[in-house]
Amino acid sequence: MFVAIEDVSFSYPNTQAPALDRFTLDIKKGEVISILGRSGSGKSTILRLLAGLERPKNGRLVIQDETLFDDKTFLQPEKRGIGMVFQDYALFPHMTVGANIMFGLSDMKKADKKKRMREMLELVELEEYEKRYPHQLSGGQQQRVAIARAIAPNPHLILLDEPFSNLDAELQGKIRKDLREILKKANITSIFVTHDEKDAHILADRIVKLKDGKMDFVGRPCDMLDTFRQEAIAESEEVLKSKPVVHV
């Protein structure tokens, strides 16, 4: 398995309920995973645990035979080789688009860094924007820069937290297609969080559904449609049953 998440639990300090409860998932190389779930179900928490921004209570995290976390190890985020696209992009406002993308390319020669940065800009179709600052870009452009920045250091795994939430509907459609193309072109394993089913169906190879910090469903998008239909039918039947019939 390329990425292995084994039995990981976590709760935030000073809270009772676990934000993530005995979560297990294996991911193949190049696979695109989508995490779906209600607000507060623990989606962002999974990403933060993988990235090393939070420390699990127990369990094990492995990427490509390297242990990121277990009883004895905790690899710092900068050593994990994981890229992340934040919900608000977190582009450094004091750096140009070019400098943002080159930030993660530390042990390279200057010329190589430039070259890689240009490749990335080409990939996200923003060649002319190298010298701009983040605040001079539209929301969609910022997002593409954030993706380019995360991909540039060639991470094993890329995490995207609600990548479409700040975009208008039209842009969402376009970016969704772009993103799938970019990810597949670069053959990067990725996990993205969303609360929009449509995103998940179009983009993902597999979907994980979370409920209150627990795994609720995992499978291919088409499998999910079935369970969904069943759920919906069950729900509507219940509604029908409980609804008092009103006679006029």
Partner 1 sequence: MQRRLANFNIWTVGAVLIILMLFLPNLTIVTGFFTPSNDNWEHMKEFVLRQFVINSLILTLATAFFTILIGLSLAWLVAQYDFPFRRFLKWALILPLSIPPFIGAYTYHGILNFTGAIQTVLREGFGMELDPAYFDIMNLPGAIFIYTMFLYPYVYTITQVYLSEQSASLIESTRLLGKGPWRTFFQVVLPISRISIIAGASLVVLEVLNDYGVVKYYGIQTFTTAIFQSWFGLGDLDTSIKLAASLMGFVIVILLIEKLLRGRRQYSYFSTKVRPLQLIPLSGWKGFAAAGYGMLILSLGFFIPVIQLVDWTILTFGTIPMEEFMRYVQNSVFVAGLSAILIVAFALIVGNFARMVQGKYTKLLPKLTVLGYSIPGAVIAVAVVTAFVALDGYLAPLYLAIGLETTLVLSVSIVLLLAAYIIRFFAIGYNSIETGYDKIGTNFRDASRLLGAGPTKTFFKVDVPMMKGAIISGFILVFIDVLKEIPLTLILRPFNFDTLSTKAFQYASDEKIMEASQASLLIVGISALAIVIFYKILEKEMD
Ligand X SMILES: Nc1ncnc2c1ncn2[C@@H]1O[C@H](COP(=O)(O)OP(=O)(O)OP(=O)(O)O)[C@@H](O)[C@H]1O
| Contact residues: ligand X, CB under 6 A | 12, 15, 19, 37, 39-45, 195
First to last CA, the chain: 63
Categorise residue 200: left if φ over 0, alpha if ψ from -120 to 50, beta otherwise.
alpha
Q: Which two tokens stand for residue 162?
A: 């609600």
| Tokens 């993530």 belong to residue | 20
Binding mask 87-106 for partner 1 (x = CB under 8 A): -x-x-xxx--------xx-x
Q: Which C-beta is closer to partner 1: that of 36 or that of 50?
A: 50
41 binds, among Mg ion, ligand X, partner 1, none (CB under 5 to 8 A by kind): ligand X
Decide: 131 and 143 in contact? Cβ < 8 Å. Answer: no
Q: Is 84 in the site for partner 1 (CB under 8 A)?
A: yes
37 binds, among partner 1, Mg ion, ligand X, none (CB under 5 to 8 A by kind): ligand X
| Distance from C-alpha of 161 to C-alpha of 242, rounded to nearest angstrom | 38
Touching partner 1, residues 6-25 (CB under 8 A):
13-14
| Distance from C-alpha of 84 to C-alpha of 69, rounded to nearest angstrom | 18
Give min distance, CB of 50 to partner 1, in A.
10
| Distance from C-alpha of 116 to C-alpha of 101, rounded to nearest angstrom | 9
Number of residues that bind Mg ion (CB under 5 A): 1
**Cα 168 to chain center, whole Å?**
19
Touching Mg ion, residues 7-66 (CB under 5 A):
44
Q: Is 168 in the site for partner 1 (CB under 8 A)?
A: no
Nearest of 155, 181, 189, 151 to residue 5 by alpha carbon: 189
Q: Which residues bind partner 1 (CB under 8 A)?
A: 13-14, 51-55, 74, 76-78, 80-84, 86, 88, 90, 92-94, 103-104, 106, 149-150, 153
